[in-house]
Amino acid sequence: MYTHEDLNALRNQSLKLQGWIRQQTFSPEMEKTLRRFSSWEVSELIFRVNQSTFRGKLAADPSLPGGEVEPEGRQRWFSLEEVNELRRRLKVNRKSLMPPRPEGKRAIRAAVANFKGGAGKSTVALHLAHAAALDGYRVLVVDFDPQATLSHSMGLTDVAEDYTVWGIMARDLIRETERMNNRPAAAESGTALPRRELPPAITDMGLGDLRISDFIRRTSWSTIDAIPSCANAAFVEFASAQYRHLNPEWSFFAAVSRYLDQIPDDAYDLILFDCPPAIGYQSMNAVFAADMLYIPSGPGYWEYDSTTSFIGQLAEALEDLAYGFDKTLPTGKIGLPKTFCELRFLLTRYEPGNALHLAMFDAFQKVFGDHVAQYPVEMTRAVEQSGRFLSSVYEMDYREMTRETWRRARSTFDNVYEEFRGVMLSAWDKLEDDA
């Protein structure tokens, strides 16, 4: 017979191994660091300019950052900060290298979601975040999943639940309840509005006083910040049910959206959500706050089935919000019924030579039409390895594997990102100025 004590002992054994893997993966101080990028990568893969044009520009202006020269090679290696400085200062054919951003609008928010486990959500979210940062965008990632895959991939392993989406929701409950209790009684009807009391167990946690910036952590990428998650945040699903009961008027699904509304419009360009493989309070917050949905799906029949049931459940949940809630309740900048500017299905772990995968891609396109991303994420060995070492292909040094494996992996994610960027720009266009 086994009890919780046995489970705990097994967990402790596992934690030891985890610590060892982290030690092998991150730098000696257990902190994740970002490598430098070679002049070949910076010119041809990041800026998309000819390598000799790039070298010429550097030679012509000695005040530009010159990177570090490798001991026995001709390549220069640039840090992300140097790449960004070059992007700001260089012009090629009189054109700026800065990525497009509609003026005066807030950051665009994209959720990578599917209630199917293992669909490739975290892998896609990690690669999109890195590709967008290399493209010059400032990114905030929000990890809605207590499995915390994305947080760990970004080197954020020491996280308390107060500083996760759970904390954001509890803080929102406290503030919204206070606001409701302080509003003037409905003068016209003469009825007093009910006062909602929260127990000290909630109000005494100090979450009500946390500032917006308290939830945001820096990462090893200087232009990517993160709101991480952790295993303890799983309790939110239990707690949130109780919270709703304490204040039934609280629009729980809009907590994160309201929080994001308070971040200055210009602080980030892209806010990316990695979602848990389940419907719940956290995933509903992610979906509600998102301007666009990216739905990764594996290329098999079962995955097609699960993806179909995902959109069914999501539709039902959003319909419940649209009709079950008083539309005059404030939900922040996003209103009810919830609308998305763009939706895409994205096939993952796709093998172009596999007849079943080809047939499934075809079926997806027949059923979902233009909502299917043209470029699937291909199955690559580099990513299988990267899962183990918690890194994206962009973080991996191409000298550590065959150049062909790295290029193939990189080019599949480049294509997926390129298409994502088009969808993102179209969603940004559709976003109302004051949304």
Ligand X SMILES: Nc1ncnc2c1ncn2[C@@H]1O[C@H](COP(=O)(O)OP(=O)(O)OP(=O)(O)O)[C@@H](O)[C@H]1O
Q: Which whole-number Å values give the CA distances from 347 to 103, 132, 146, 182, in the listed order?
A: 32, 20, 24, 49
Q: Within 108-147, which residues bind Mg ion (CB under 5 A)?
A: 121-122
> Does 307 interact with ligand X (rule: CB under 6 A)?
no
Work out the number of other CB atoms within 10 angstroms of the CB of residue 348: 23
> Near ligand X by CB under 6 A, which window of 7-15, 121-129, 133-141, 243-251?
121-129
> Which H or E run contains 365?
helix 355-368
Q: Within 257-276, which residues bind ligand X (CB under 6 A)?
A: none
| Partner from ligand X, Mg ion, none contacting 380, C-beta within 5 to 8 A by type | ligand X
> Does 121 interact with ligand X (rule: CB under 6 A)?
yes
| Least distance between ligand X and beta carbon 149 (Å) | 5
Name which position in 43, 149, 164, 306 contacts Mg ion (CB under 5 A). Answer: 149
> Does 300 interact with ligand X (rule: CB under 6 A)?
no
| Least distance between Mg ion and beta carbon 113 (Å) | 10
Residue 80: closest CA among 21, 148, 146, 130: 130
Nearer to Mg ion, 122 or 251 (CB): 122
> Near ligand X by CB under 6 A, which window of 29-37, 111-119, 180-188, 421-429?
111-119
Name which position in 113, 119, 133, 416 contacts ligand X (CB under 6 A). Answer: 119
Nearer to ligand X, 120 or 136 (CB): 120
Return the bridge partners of 210, or none: none
| Least distance between ligand X and beta carbon 280 (Å) | 13
Name which position in 122, 229, 282, 285 contacts ligand X (CB under 6 A). Answer: 122
Distance CA 67, CA 40 (A): 12
Mask 54-93, x = binds ligand X (CB under 6 A)? Answer: ----------------------------------------
> Does 282 interact with Mg ion (rule: CB under 5 A)?
no
> Which H or E run contains 69?
strand 68-69
Q: Within 327-366, which residues bind ligand X (CB under 6 A)?
A: 348-349
Give DSSP secondary structure letters for 236-300. Answer: HHHHHHHHHHH-TT--GGGHHHHHHHTS-TTS-SEEEEE--SS-SHHHHHHHHH-SEEEEEE-SS
User: Identity (one letter) of the amino acid at 332?
Assistant: G
Distance CA 179, CA 344 (A): 37
- Determine the size of the site formed for ligand X (CB under 6 A): 19
| Partner from Mg ion, ligand X, none contacting 251, C-beta within 5 to 8 A by type | none
Work out the number of other CB atoms within 10 angstroms of the CB of residue 278: 13
| Least distance between ligand X and beta carbon 385 (Å) | 8
Mask 368-387, x = binds ligand X (CB under 6 A)? Answer: ---------x-xx--xx--x
Nearer to ligand X, 128 or 379 (CB): 379
Residue 277: closest CA among 296, 300, 251: 296
Distance CA 174, CA 168 (A): 10
Q: Contact at 8 Å (CB) between 109 and 258?
A: no
> Does 147 interact with ligand X (rule: CB under 6 A)?
yes
> Which H or E run contains 142?
strand 139-143
Distance CA 239, CA 161 (A): 12
Work out the number of other CB atoms within 10 angstroms of the CB of residue 282: 30
Site residues for ligand X per CB under 6 A: 117-123, 145, 147, 149, 277, 348-349, 377, 379-380, 383-384, 387
Site residues for Mg ion per CB under 5 A: 121-122, 149
